[in-house]
A and B are shown apart, each in its own frame.
Chain A
Amino acid sequence: DQQVKQNSPSLSVQEGRISILNCDYTNSMFDYFLWYKKYPAEGPTFLISISSIKDKNEDGRFTVFLNKSAKHLSLHIVPSQPGDSAVYFCAASKSGGYQKVTFGTGTKLQVIP
């Protein structure tokens, strides 16, 4: 039962354009969402998070949007840079102690120079 879904396994974007990565979840109890970035031969690194009390969170070139009614979140990268080429994982959890983090299957982003 995949509770966090990233339906696009890959995405190609031109350098300087916007990258939009999408994520859907099924568990309505999730109230904390995260994005991680993973380069080959490295572990995932935290990128940005959002709590369900917000619908948008920005950090530099990265913005995460949350649509609770649609159980959908997206990560926008503007402008995209070649160094952004990586696999992006969406993750979700319930807040509070001892809650496990459920990850999506990942989207491989390629930014073409």
Chain B
Amino acid sequence: KAGVTQTPRYLIKTRGQQVTLSCSPISGHRSVSWYQQTPGQGLQFLFEYFSETQRNKGNFPGRFSGRQFSNSRSEMNVSTLELGDSALYLCASRPGQVMTDTQYFGPGTRLTVL
């Protein structure tokens, strides 16, 4: 079974631009979560989608948004980029929304904002 894939792997943008990141979960997985990883902050939860509905949201400004499609693929969008948005963005999928289901992470998208 293919793992979680994220595209693109690397991205360079300038302040004020917007960006869209994509995540394809493991086949059959219906839950997708997004995290931001920055040095010293660990993984910060952004949001989780299950069956095309956002089920949970972290403490990020409204510039961060996401969606999930009927095939469980997910995208996250960051508008009006700021320097502080430079980070590794990780996507994780799991079969359902049961907490004890293991989350499988993709390799991440490294976003650099100049």
Contacts and interface: CB of A to CB of B under 8 A. Distances in A.
A101 to B, nearest CB: 7
Contacts of A51: 100
B91 to A, nearest CB: 8
Given A43-B4, A45-B105, A100-B58, A94 B99 contact: yes
B47 to A, nearest CB: 9
Nearest to B48: A100
A98 B97 contact: yes
Interface stretch (B14-22, B35-43, B62-70, B73-81): B35-43
B7 interface: no
For the side of the interface on A, what is the size category?
A: 20 to 34
B45 A105 contact: no
A99 to B, nearest CB: 5
A107 B15 CA distance: 31
B102 interface: yes
Interface string A74-100: 000000000000000101011111111
Interface SS of chain A: helix, strand, loop or mixed?
loop
Contacts of B92: 43
A35 to B, nearest CB: 12
For the side of the interface on B, what is the size category?
A: 20 to 34
Contacts of A36: 105
Given A98-B48, A98-B55, A98-B56, A44 B100 contact: no
B56 A99 contact: yes
A59 interface: no
Contact of B100 (A32, A98, A100, A106): A32
B98 A97 contact: yes
A89 B99 contact: no
Nearest to A42: B107
Contact of A43 (B40, B56, B90, B102): B90
Interface of B: 4, 33, 35, 40-45, 48, 50, 55-56, 58, 90, 92, 97-100, 102-108
Interface of A: 4, 6, 32, 36, 41-46, 49, 51, 89, 91, 93-106
